[in-house]
Copies of this chain bind each other. A is one copy, B any other.
Amino acid sequence: MNAFELTRGSPAWAPLPTPRVSFAPRATPLAPSARCSVRDVLRWTGLEAWVGTVNDSDWLPTRRVQAEQALAHQHQSLTHFYVVGAGSFKLVKVDDEGFEQVLGFALRGDVIGLDGMNEQHHLCSVVALEDATVALLGCEDLLTPGRCQPALARLLHHAAATELQRRSDTQFLMAAASAEVRVARFLLSFGQRQQQLGCSASRFRLRMSRRDIASYLGVAHETVSRALTLLAQAGYMAVTQREIDILDVPGLVLMQKQSRGPSPCAALKRRGGA
Q: Given B99, B163, B165, B175, which contacts A123 in the complex, CB threshold below 8 Å?
A: B165
Q: How far is the CB of A174 from chain B (nearest CB, A)?
A: 5
> Is there an interface contact between A218 and B175, defined as CB atoms closer than 8 Å?
yes
Q: Give 6 nearest A-B pairs by CB, closest first.
A: A117-B161, A167-B167, A115-B164, A175-B218, A160-B160, A118-B161
How many copies of this kind of chain does the complex include?
2
Q: How far is the CB of A166 from chain B (nearest CB, A)?
A: 9
Q: How far is the CB of A237 from chain B (nearest CB, A)?
A: 22
A95, A158, A160, A163 — most chain B CB neighbours (10 Å): A160
Q: Tell whether A143 pairs with B117 under 8 Å between CB atoms, given A93-B168, A171-B167, A172-B93.
A: no
A143 contact set on B, CB distance < 8 A:
154, 157
How many residues of chain A are within 8 Å of chain B by beta carbon?
45
Please tell me if A257 contacts chain B, counting CB pairs below 8 Å.
yes
A239-259 interface with B by 8 A CB criterion: 257-259
> Is there an interface contact between A174 and B116, defined as CB atoms closer than 8 Å?
no
Q: Tell whether A259 pairs with B172 under 8 Å between CB atoms, given A161-B115, A165-B123.
A: no
Please tell me if A170 contacts chain B, counting CB pairs below 8 Å.
yes
Please tell me if A162 contacts chain B, counting CB pairs below 8 Å.
yes
Distance in angstroms between the alpha carbons of A237 and B88 in the assembled complex: 44
Distance in angstroms between the alpha carbons of A123 and B170 in the assembled complex: 14
A101 contact set on B, CB distance < 8 A:
171-172, 175, 259
Please tell me if A63 contacts chain B, counting CB pairs below 8 Å.
no
> Is there an interface contact between B114 and A164, defined as CB atoms closer than 8 Å?
yes
> Is there an interface contact between A171 and B96, defined as CB atoms closer than 8 Å?
no
Q: How far is the CB of A53 from chain B (nearest CB, A)?
A: 11
> Is there an interface contact between B96 and A257, defined as CB atoms closer than 8 Å?
yes
A175 contact set on B, CB distance < 8 A:
101, 174, 215, 218
